[in-house]
Amino acid sequence: MNVFVNAALLGFIPRGVKKSLMALAPVRRVRAAVMKDLGLPEDILTFVNYPTRFDDRDTQRALKGSSIACPPLKDYAWRLWDYWERHLDPALKIDHSLKGTVAGKVVLVTGGSSGIGLAAACKLAEAKKQILAFAKNGGRADAQVHAYAVDISDDAPTQAFIGWLNDTLGGVDFLINSAGRSIRRAIETSYDRFHDFERTMQLNCFGCIRVTMGVLPGMVAKKKGHVVNISSIGVLTNAPRFSAYVASKAALDAWTRCASSEFADVGVTFTTINMPLVRTPMIAPTKIYANVPTLSPEEAADMIAQACVEKPVRIATRLGVFGEVPHAFVPRVAQIVSNTTFRMFPDSSAASGDKSGKPKLSAEAVAMQQMMRGIHF
């Protein structure tokens, strides 16, 4: 896609007004952020409407009467651009690999016992050699992953370990909040199970915030640091039967947005990953997931690596973003669609108390499963 911008269109704005606007710090920061996201140097703005003339009259006179002709610029311009990208682009001197990002840094991963946290810790260890991981059940996930048995839903041991970490290693450079639990149970079968909401919120939201607030002072002091929070696609789609889980992740998302606004000017950045369904032990009790699209833990770890390298504000699949649109523009329709799928798929055997362990699916539910298999883009 090509977009041609004629800077003369902005000529109606007096020069003094433009100069005054650019003197405002927020305006300069917004411009710098936009140019950074586009991958363009700010100097390029000087040449948006730069008067350029390619004069080949002498060349044409020299070639007159010969079989040699000067080709149109569009036929060879790409070669000039290709040469610049391969040899002259200043970005070539920057190591954009995971190793170049985390080497020599202190990286802390929560939820390192299994699933996404374990895969992320091992992925990062390939680049950094040594990774710290909070694993509630303890154990060593990998020879290069130092696992510590810390339950982040418990304040005292968490604060004690973070204090030791800050004193011994000088704080954390990258924090990956992967610890979490999921409960798939309809609200109508949860009237006497309020503790489900309490324990889910305690770990998924309060636990992650507890660890983050423990390492933030050190990041602020160094004026650098990055926090990656593992959220869920369910926050975008408001998935039925996940009220406890989605509520806890939505609360973490909201807190992250507030925190990113407060720390944007001190070098501390945040990324929220609205992770799609991942094939981990957490989803194993729900048997119907055997026929729905899932990512592998390694694929989820790749998304976390991307978050560490590129530091975007949010990472979400196109399917997740598409699912968010109806709730924003046609909420009533979104409710009807969600309610239809809610009635179509039953509670898991564990949630409903069914001892048989076999989910009872309607023909429509089976058809939808088959239609959606492999779709997690």
Residue 152 and residue 210 in contact, taking contact as beta carbons nearer than 8 Å: yes
**Nearby residues of 346 by Cβ (< 8 Å), 6 or more positions away:** 352, 359, 360, 361
- Nearest in space to 107 (alpha carbons), one of 93, 125, 80, 87: 125
The pLDDT value recorded for residue 348 is: 62
- Whole-angstrom distance, CA of residue 131 vs CA of residue 128: 7
Task: Say yes or no to pLDDT of 369 above 80.
Answer: no
Of 50, 76, 83, 245, which residue is the catalytic one? 245
Spatial distance between the Cα atoms of 333 and 327, rounded to a whole number of angstroms:
8
Mean pLDDT of 146-166: 91
3-state secondary structure of 295: strand
Highest mean pLDDT among 102-106, 197-201, 330-334: 197-201
Q: What is the pLDDT of residues 271-311, one digit of tens each?
A: 999 998 887 766 665 555 565 667 888 999 999 999 999 99
pLDDT in tens, 230-262: 999 989 988 888 899 999 999 999 999 999 999
CB-based burial, 111-133: b 16+ in 10 Å, e otherwise: bbbbbbbbbbbbbbbebbeebbb
Place of tokens 């008067």: 51
Using CA atoms, how far residue 294 sits from 116, 184, 231, 279, 299, in Å, is: 12, 16, 15, 6, 10
* CB atoms near residue 81 (< 10 Å): 10
Nearest alpha carbon to residue 343 among 247, 240, 246: 240
Stretch 341-352: mean pLDDT:
66
Percent of the chain with pLDDT over 90: 38
Task: Count how many Cα atoms sit within 13 Å of the Cα of residue 335 in the half-sphere of its side chain.
Answer: 3
CA–CA separation, 303 vs 244, rounded Å?
25
Check: CB of residue 229 under 8 Å from CB of residue 256: yes
Instruction: Provide the token pair at 374.
Output: 């492999």
The span from the CA of 162 to the CA of 177, in Å, is 14
Q: State the chain's mean pLDDT as an integer.
A: 83
Q: Considering only residues 131 and 210, tell me which one the structure prediction assigns the higher pLDDT.
A: 210
Q: Report whether pLDDT(361) > 80.
A: no
Across 214-226, average pLDDT: 96
Q: What is the mean pLDDT of residues 27-54?
A: 81
Residue that has been written with the tokens 């569009």 in this structure: 74
Is 245 annotated as catalytic?
Answer: yes
Side chain identity at 307, as an amino acid letter?
A: A
Backbone torsion region of residue 21, taken as left when φ is above 0, otherwise alpha when ψ lies between -120 and 50, otherwise beta:
alpha
Determine the pLDDT at residue 376: 42
The pLDDT confidence band at residue 138, using thresholds 50, 70 and 90, is low
Residue positions counted in the chain: 377
